[in-house]
Amino acid sequence: MMKFLSAAGLRAVAAGALTGAALMTGGGAFASAEQADPLADFLTKYVAWAETIEAEGQERGTPLTADQLELAEAVGIRHPEKVRLVYADAVPFPVEDPEMRAVGESMGFIGPGVINNAQAFGYTIWIRNGFTMDRPALAHELVHVMQIERSASFGAYAREYVPQLLEHGHSNMPLEVEAYEANRKFNFSRYFRRGLLHLESMRLDEAIADFTRAHELDPDDEWTLANRGGAYAAMNERDLAEKDFAAVEKLDADNPIMLGGRAFLHMQAEEFPQAVTMLDRLLEIDPQDYWALRARSDAYLELGEEEKSSADNDLAYKLEEQDGSDVGQVLPSR
């Protein structure tokens, strides 16, 4: 993203630059800063210029892929099919206009050391060549598209954005806070989903590392803790697993991953009655959970209840044939 001055610095420098731009305007348009609002003048010119950039982007940009469309819908865009991604050597700014260039430099939009990696101008997102537009970064820019859509026009959005920037600074202004929340949310999703893939492939150390990163991004997500507890359980790290499961239980006493993980730990410790209790609760939630049926079948067999064991085993394999999955996986996952 762009580098910006502090909120106070922005207000002071922008005020001077805007006043100077007003005084320099030819043809007697502004004899003094009091005769017109220089910020409004800048925004009027900038919005008119941005409309040409939006039109160009619609012509040369590429539509979103299926996965990107899904992300745009998740962000809340009403018409994701209109979004276009445009790659360029630099995100455009009207540097050919000396007054607008002066204001842009004063506000941190352009200038030495300033790199604008991506910017939405409506339904087009312009992206600097070489910038990695990963899922969290795209989510951030799609939020800006949603904000523009919500504002009814780019002009209305710009007239909300710039005063917020001057008042709060880039990091703390409400529109950017909303967009950065999407970074956090979808960065969490990346680690969580990758953790699930590692868990299903029994790459347990990698799964735990990714679930830990996801937990740092969203400490209140029960599924992250439940699946990390499941990975610890698969490694026979009972204390660590129970710590995660205890935290999950406070959030949701019926979390199926937590129940299955505790059942697994009881089975490993040959605590078969306790395992059956956990598995009973799991099967109350989902009577067709064939992993739970198979595990309970094993527990019943250890307890000498062969008829119950056989019934669960037969039903588990029947469900396996219908589903085409492996009843022998270590733990269920979200």
Pairwise CA distance, residues 216 & 228, whole Å: 12
Provide CATH 1.25.40.10 ranges for the chain: 218-323
Name the residue among 290, 265, 268 with its Cα closest to residue 278: 265
Q: pLDDT-based confidence at 293, cuts 50/70/90?
A: very high
Sheet hosting strand 124-128, strand order edge to edge: 62-63, 84-88, 124-128, 118-120
| 62-84: pLDDT as tens digits | 999 998 999 999 999 999 999 99
Helix (H, G, I), strand (E, B) or coil at 80: helix
pTM flag (> 0.75): no
Cβ neighbours for 326, distance < 8 A, ≥ 6 positions apart: 320
CATH numeric code, 218-323: 1.25.40.10
Check pLDDT > 60 for residue 175. Answer: yes
Check pLDDT > 50 for residue 16. Answer: no
| 198-230: pLDDT as tens digits | 999 999 999 999 999 889 888 889 999 999 999
Strand-strand pairing, 118-120 and 84-88: unpaired
